[in-house]
Amino acid sequence: MKGFVCKVCDYISLKGEAPHSCPVCGSPQTSFKREDDAIKIPQDPNNLNELEKKHVPVISLVKKCSFIQEECQDVHVKMGQIQHPMKPEHYIMHIDFYINKEFISRVKLTPDKLNPAAALHIKAEGGKLTVVELCNLHGAWISEVNL
């Protein structure tokens, strides 16, 4: 999948163009490079191979948040149907969240002490939630759900 990638922080624009500045690190538009394979997608979403089962984000929406009750839904994300390793030599570097292709948050992960998962409390109702994770060895992978 094509995308514009920030060469400073690895943020990927999903809008089909490079932003004026990176929403993650603030780098200028000149820091972006168009990449035809910026994001990996499964060849057959209904029949994932072992690599895809470890990398395609699994998204779970909880429509009623028990922590922040008003205008909140929880988003839980884990990396893969098979848990991705979190070793110094192979790990998930970060998880980026987008609503309707607009970046909303990044969760940075470190190996050994964290599991390859994240959760957010979001206000948005309706639209499409996109999650992009970055593996240090196998690149960025994407998953989407309707809110």
Tens digits of residue pLDDT in 52-78: 999 999 999 988 777 887 788 899 999
Domain boundaries, the chain: 1-40, 46-146
pTM, rounded to two decimals: 0.94
d(CA 106, CA 22): 12
Taking a C-beta distance cutoff of 8 angstroms, is the pair 96, 105 a contact? Answer: yes
Strand, helix or coil at 77?
strand
Q: Give tens-digit pLDDT for 76-122.
A: 999 989 999 999 999 999 999 999 999 999 999 999 999 999 999 99
Question: Whose CA is closest to 13, among 128, 132, 125, 116?
Answer: 132
Rounded Cα distance, 66 and 132, in Å? 26
Say which residues have a Cβ less than 8 Å from residue 61's Cβ, sequence separation at least 6.
73, 74, 75, 76, 129, 145, 147
CATH topology of domain 1-40: Rubrerythrin, domain 2 (2.20.28)
Q: What tokens were used for 25? A: 């690190």
DSSP helix, strand, coil percent of the chain (3-state; round to 5)? 5, 45, 50
**CATH code, residues 46-146:** 2.60.40.730
63 vs 42 pLDDT, higher one: 42
Handedness of CA 123, 126, 127, 132 (dihedral sign): positive
Q: What is the mean pLDDT of the chain?
A: 94
Tokens of 8: 């400073």
